[in-house]
Structure 1
Amino acid sequence: MAEVNYKQDMPPKGGYAPIVFQNIPVKKYFNGYTMFAGFAAITSFSFYMYYQNFKRRRLLKIERQDAINALEPILLAERDRSYLKQLRRNVEEEAELMKNVPGWEVGTYYGEPIYKTVPKEKLLDPILEEYYAHTSEKAYDDKANEFLWR
């Protein structure tokens, strides 16, 4: 067997320095009065900033509500106009599709009114499938699944 030369790690001559175990007090930067004054200053500044932001948010809320009130009649009118245009397109498409069928009258089933107790002049809202019958599949899917995305 080969002989291995090694040197064991030993303590330094004279030994290690003594271990410090007494309590060393922390240096105090602030006393109680300055900490209370700092807390009061920061809290006062925070309340002031909150109040300023509260006033600004209140004004923005009033402005936003004014804009909604101004635009709502226009948006409702546009929605109703779009609704009536789609109903008109549905009637025109039905007339175009069934023009070669003898005895077919638009809005009826072979001349029989669909609703016997409802006058012909009264507008009945169609069901979703009937309303979107002559539109793209995407338009129908968007409306049919609209509640899933709210």
Structure 2
Amino acid sequence: MPPAGGFEPIKYKRNLPTRGPGAYVILGGVTAICAFGFYRLGKGNLEKRELEREKVWARIHLVPLLMAEGDRDTYRRRAAAVEREREIMKNVPGWQVGKSVYSNPKYEQTSIVVL
């Protein structure tokens, strides 16, 4: 017969230990990480925009210097070409140094430097 007071109740409930943080803790952690990531993304975008603006302004300020350097180079090359022409054609009678060889004014250069 059963013991006095009856048998112990049958333990049918699973007795598993909690493994890791709860759902709200995980959700809060993911939210915090995403918020920090978006903060860093915004700061990076601001820095990238500032660097791009600085690059554009640097180019704007360098264009006149580069154009002046190109103009000086063009002048130097044209003067050297005229000097070469003068040296090569010095024995040709009636040759005008720096004058266009074309009779049609359409093909004439407008600014030839004769030194």
Shorter-chain TM-score: what band?
Answer: 0.5 to 0.7
| Percentage of identical aligned residues | 32
Q: 2:72 aligns with which of 57, 62, 81?
A: 81
Q: Distance in 2 between matches of 1:119 and 1:36?
A: 77
Kindly tell me the number of residue pairs found equivalent between the two proteins: 96
Equivalent residue, structure 1, for 2:8: none
Equivalent residue, structure 1, for 2:102: 114
Matches within 5 A, 1:49-60: 49-60=40-51
Q: Cα gap change, 1:115/1:107 in structure 2, threshold over 3 Å: closer, same or farther?
A: farther
- Over the residues paired in the alignment, what is the CA RMSD in angstroms? 2.8
Q: Distance in 2 between matches of 1:29 and 1:101?
A: 100
One-letter code of the match for 1:36?
Answer: L
Q: Distance in 2 between matches of 1:33 and 1:84?
A: 75
Contiguous gaps of at least 5 residues in structure 2: 1-15
Which structure features the higher share of helix residues? 2
Equivalent residue, structure 2, for 1:137: none
Q: Which has the larger radius of gyration?
A: 2
TM-score norm. by structure 1 comes to 0.53
TM-score norm. by structure 2 comes to 0.66
Q: Distance in 1 between matches of 2:19 and 2:71?
A: 73
Aligned-pair CA distance for 1:42: 0.9
Q: 1:93 aligns with which of 74, 78, 84?
A: 84
Contiguous gaps of at least 5 residues in structure 1: 1-24, 125-150
